[in-house]
């Protein structure tokens, strides 16, 4: 019989709806039940494409004896971290403080007042490698709750007090200047893996936000070292197994330093961020590889993640059926030489093995290989390779596919909107711009209420109950601002303004710092606040970027002042931990450059000369430049106010803080002014 999770919209929670565990969703009713029954709370946090979450579920939560013990002695709460990032952040901070590490599944034991007192991540069904079994943990917690309640209360109280004392106050600090950005670049240079690209050792994550900073820094200063790190890292990732050589897009991370073997889950946010990075790399260098990867990543998102409602699903699982009924990580993506021969025949299989690095020994497990592009100097016949690629892709499509998390997350859709709008504009792919518009329409229609308050998620056209957090407001605003620049439609600028007004009034602290949840959101044991970028831009730095762009489009001084204050955290952290404020550093580059404001006026967007100026403006590399395009009499976009045609010709104005250079009708002159 299904438990309470059967009524949820989260795919992750629905995966546990048939567990024998009597799960509750996160709710006041669950904690009231704990108080009424005098039981501690087991909080289990994960997400649908998390491999070890599935493992622990199979080993423990599907086990009837374990479930009976949990149901008798605990109130059990299951949380989707993607749906409730605030709950995840608060308790992950406690886990990391207590254990020095974190991860998912996250396992936390709470008092009925939601105060944590014991922590962990994955627990095996039997003792293993120094880890206690899950049953041992449950027995220990039960005894502590029954026999040492005062000690438990003391520990929980201390943890809550420690967390409460961690509020940050970087809001009044100054925005970073040349010195701090140069120090950040030096720090990245020291951590750079010159042999393999990227930063640090294994596991190695795509440093998308750091790459954006490096590209912007090169554009503003001409620093060749910054461009070299970005270009080489992008090439190594594009040639590695982390990049899907058949279907496009990127896996979550590489388990090795060489980008060969990925953790195979594919996340919307990674692909949105990397699509934009590769498009910007092409804009800076003209690289054919960057162009191909930007487009195959965009096509992957539209083909495999787009939902029936027009939004974009959150993720594809790492695991899939290997053909024997077992769910195995990577089964959908890996190949043996024999499998190549079955699909391609002997001669083409030998060529494919050479081209994609498939060996008899394998680069993965059990003699299987992850496809990569190891041969850089060998010349291959392009048409034959493309035929091989398509036949392998068709054969792969007949394998059991990984599961898809169909949950539409507002923030990640905002990132996808920005990436698809820009990629479509750069490469004359109106279908990609249309896909961005479709997702934006869904967010407005379904996720925004009458007061322009955002809901975090939806699924199958049904909006979720959880309120949007700071990253939702900031990233959706970022996507809408990109659409305004690409389409010239002022409505997207208006919607961005509505969202950013909420940032100013509901997410900003007394000293200009930013909180991850709104002032009127559900009260947790601590109001979460994290300015560091992780897998995605933090809400803090994303808000700084969107506020800065909106101010450049509109001249809104309160928004620029808020962006300046928010960038204070980048001044403090950038020189010390640049890898963890990559997006903040990228925004700081835009701040130091202005950012530039480009107004294009012409008789119509269908006019060839107007389109040429508009395209030139979009392809300019000036960091964070904003673009407005329309007719001289348009009142949709403030940047177009009082702009006139010069000699009756379409005209471009390049401005900084609404102070403009001499207008030009020449696309080449505009390109030079914008560093294109």
Q: How far apart are CA 547 and CA 563, in angstroms?
A: 6
Are 10 and 102 in the same domain? yes
Q: How far apart are CA 296 and CA 266, in angstroms?
A: 14
Residue 72: which of 64, 80, 83 has the closest Cα? 64
Confidence of residue 401 (pLDDT cuts 50, 70, 90): very high
At residue 520, the pLDDT reads: 95
Judge whether 259 lies within some domain: no
At residue 168, the pLDDT reads: 61
Mean pLDDT of the chain: 94
- Alpha helices of 427-469 — where are they, by DSSP H? 430-442
Are 501 and 604 in the same domain? no
Are 491 and 586 in the same domain? yes
Percentage of the chain exceeding pLDDT 70? 98
Are 486 and 503 in the same domain? yes
- Asked if the model's pLDDT at residue 587 lies above 90, the reply is yes
Q: How far apart are CA 245 and CA 226, in angstroms?
A: 27
Judged by phi (left if over 0) then psi (alpha if -120 to 50, else beta), residue 283 lies in: alpha
Judge whether 513 lies within some domain: yes
- Asked if the model's pLDDT at residue 171 lies above 90, the reply is no
At residue 152, the pLDDT reads: 85
- SS3 call for 598: strand
Confidence of residue 169 (pLDDT cuts 50, 70, 90): low
Q: How far apart are CA 588 and CA 245, in angstroms?
A: 34
**89-93, 106-110, 437-441, 568-572 — most confident range:** 437-441
Q: Are 518 and 507 in contact (CB under 8 A)?
A: yes
- Asked if the model's pLDDT at residue 99 lies above 80, the reply is no
- Asked if the model's pLDDT at residue 342 lies above 60, the reply is yes
Judge whether 255 lies within some domain: no
At residue 54, the pLDDT reads: 87
**Cis ω on the peptide bond leading into residue 203 (within 30° of 0)?**
yes
**1-5, 172-176, 277-281 — most confident range:** 277-281
pLDDT tens across 43-64, in order? 999 998 888 898 999 999 999 9
Cβ-count burial 558-576 (b if 16+ within 10 Å, e if not): ebbebbbbbbbbbbbbbbe
Are 445 and 496 in the same domain? yes
In terms of residue numbers, what domain contains 630? 596-673
- Asked if the model's pLDDT at residue 170 lies above 80, the reply is no
Average pLDDT over residues 480-504: 97
Average pLDDT over residues 7-27: 93
Sheet holding 596-601, edge to edge: 626-630, 596-601, 651-656, 659-660
Torsion sign, CA atoms 400, 408, 120, 21: negative
Cβ-count burial 137-166 (b if 16+ within 10 Å, e if not): bbeebbebbeeeeeebeebbeebbeebeee
Cβ-count burial 611-626 (b if 16+ within 10 Å, e if not): bbbbbbbbbbbbbbbb
Locate tokens 């594009």: which residue?
238
Tokens representing 444 are: 């407005």
Are 586 and 600 in the same domain? no
Are 484 and 338 in the same domain? no
Residue 39: which of 65, 69, 72 has the closest Cα? 72
Are 449 and 466 in the same domain? yes
Are 129 and 153 in the same domain? yes
Are 612 and 647 in the same domain? yes
At residue 261, the pLDDT reads: 96
Judge whether 623 lies within some domain: yes
Judge whether 237 lies within some domain: no
Average pLDDT over residues 184-198: 96
Residue 570: which of 557, 552, 582, 558 has the closest Cα? 582
C-alpha torsion angle, residues 563, 565, 570, 575 (rounded to 10): 140
Judge whether 226 lies within some domain: no
Q: How far apart are CA 442 and CA 414, in angstroms?
A: 11
Work out the angle at residue 126's Cα, subtended by the Cα atoms of residues 124 and 132, and round it to the nearest 5 degrees: 70
Span of 102-106, 205-209, 576-580 with lowest mean pLDDT:
102-106
Q: Are 407 and 314 in contact (CB under 8 A)?
A: yes
Span of 164-178, 219-233, 642-656 with lowest mean pLDDT:
164-178
- Asked if the model's pLDDT at residue 376 lies above 80, the reply is no
CATH number of 29's domain: 3.40.30.10
Span of 127-131, 348-352, 567-571, 649-653 with lowest mean pLDDT:
127-131
Residue 467: which of 6, 29, 83 has the closest Cα? 83
Element (H, E) at 118: strand 116-120
Could you say which of 573, 593, 613 is where a domain stops?
593
Tokens representing 527 are: 């109001």
Could you say which of 561, 593, 625 is where a domain stops?
593
Torsion sign, CA atoms 436, 440, 441, 443: positive
- Asked if the model's pLDDT at residue 108 lies above 90, the reply is yes
Are 75 and 142 in the same domain? yes
Q: How far apart are CA 466 and CA 472, in angstroms?
A: 12
Judge whether 357 lies within some domain: yes
At residue 637, the pLDDT reads: 93
Cβ-count burial 108-135 (b if 16+ within 10 Å, e if not): bbbbbebbbbbbbbbbbeeeeeeebbbb
Are 340 and 378 in the same domain? yes
First to last CA, the chain: 62
Residue 551: which of 561, 540, 560, 564 has the closest Cα? 560
Residue 369: which of 334, 396, 339, 393 has the closest Cα? 334
Tokens representing 547 are: 């506020």
Q: The whole model's pTM is what? A: 0.94
Could you say which of 136, 164, 192 is where a domain stops?
164
Q: Are 213 and 582 in contact (CB under 8 A)?
A: yes
Q: How many domains does the chain have?
A: 4
Judge whether 660 lies within some domain: yes
At residue 560, the pLDDT reads: 97
């Amino acid at each position: 019989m299904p438990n309470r999770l059967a009524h949820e919209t989260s795919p992750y929670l629905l995966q546990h709806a048939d567990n024998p565990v009597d799960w509750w969703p996160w709710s006041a009713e669950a904690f009231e039940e704990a108080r009424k029954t005098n039981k501690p709370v087991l909080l289990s946090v994960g997400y649908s494409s998390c491999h070890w979450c599935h493992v622990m579920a199979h080993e423990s939560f599907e086990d009837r004896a374990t479930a009976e013990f949990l149901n008798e002695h605990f109130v059990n709460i299951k949380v989707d971290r993607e749906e409730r990032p605030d709950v995840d952040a608060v308790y992950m901070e406690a886990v990391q403080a207590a254990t020095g590490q974190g991860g998912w599944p996250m396992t936390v034991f709470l008092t009925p007042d939601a105060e944590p007192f014991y922590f962990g991540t994955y627990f095996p069904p039997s003792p293993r490698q120094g880890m206690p079994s899950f049953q041992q943990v449950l027995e220990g917690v039960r005894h502590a709750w029954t026999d040492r309640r005062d000690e438990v209360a003391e520990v929980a109280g201390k943890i809550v007090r420690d967390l409460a004392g961690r509020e940050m106050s970087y809001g009044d600090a100054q925005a970073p200047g040349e010195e701090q950005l140069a120090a950040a670049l030096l720090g990245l240079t020291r951590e750079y893996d010159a042999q393999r690209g990227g930063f640090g050792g294994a596991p190695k994550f795509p440093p998308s936000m750091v790459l954006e900073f490096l590209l912007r820094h090169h554009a503003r200063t001409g620093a060749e070292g910054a461009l070299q790190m970005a270009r080489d890292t992008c090439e190594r990732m594009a040639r590695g197994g982390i990049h899907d050589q058949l279907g496009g897009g990127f896996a979550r991370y590489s388990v090795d330093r060489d980008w060969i073997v990925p953790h195979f889950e594919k996340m919307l946010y990674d692909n949105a961020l990397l699509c934009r990075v590769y498009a910007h790399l092409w804009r800076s260098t003209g690289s054919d590889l960057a162009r191909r990867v930007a487009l195959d990543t965009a096509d992957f998102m539209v083909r495999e993640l787009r939902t029936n409602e027009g939004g974009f699903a959150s993720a594809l699982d790492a695991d899939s059926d290997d053909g024997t009924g077992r769910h195995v990580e990577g089964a959908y993506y890996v190949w043996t030489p024999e499998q190549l021969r079955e699909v391609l025949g002997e001669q083409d299989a030998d060529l494919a093995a050479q081209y994609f690095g498939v060996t008899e020994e394998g680069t993965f497990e059990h003699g299987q290989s992850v496809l990569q592009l190891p041969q850089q100097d060998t010349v291959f016949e392009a048409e034959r390779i493309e035929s091989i690629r398509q036949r392998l892709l068709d054969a792969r499509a007949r394998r059991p596919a990984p599961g898809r998390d169909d949950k539409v997350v507002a923030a990640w859709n905002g990132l996808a909107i920005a990436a698809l709008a820009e990629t479509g504009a750069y490469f004359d792919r109106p279908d990609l711009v249309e896909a961005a518009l479709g997702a934006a329409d869904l967010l407005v229609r379904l996720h925004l209420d009458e007061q322009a308050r955002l809901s975090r998620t939806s699924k199958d056209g049904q909006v979720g109950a959880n309120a949007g957090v700071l990253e939702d407001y900031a990233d959706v605003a970022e996507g809408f601002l990109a659409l305004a620049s690409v389409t010239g439609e002022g409505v997207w600028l208006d919607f961005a303004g509505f969202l950013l007004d909420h940032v100013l009034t509901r997410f900003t602290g007394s000293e200009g710092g930013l909180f991850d949840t709104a002032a009127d959101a559900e009260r947790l044991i601590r109001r979460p606040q994290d300015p560091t970028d992780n897998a995605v831009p933090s809400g803090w730095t994303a808000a700084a970027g969107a506020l800065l762009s909106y101010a450049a489009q509109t001249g809104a001084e309160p928004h620029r002042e808020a962006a300046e204050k928010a960038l204070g955290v980048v001044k403090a952290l950038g020189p010390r931990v640049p890898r963890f404020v990559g997006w903040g550093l990228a925004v700081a580059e835009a701040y130091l450059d202005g950012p530039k404001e480009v107004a294009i006026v012409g008789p119509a967007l269908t006019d060839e000369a107007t389109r040429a100026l508009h395209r030139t403006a979009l392809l300019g590399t000036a960091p964070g430049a904003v673009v407005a395009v329309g007719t001289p009499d348009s009142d949709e976009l403030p940047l177009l106010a009082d702009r006139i045609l010069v000699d009756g010709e379409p005209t471009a104005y390049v401005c900084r803080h609404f102070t403009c250079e001499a207008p030009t009708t020449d696309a080449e002159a505009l390109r030079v002014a914008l560093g294109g």
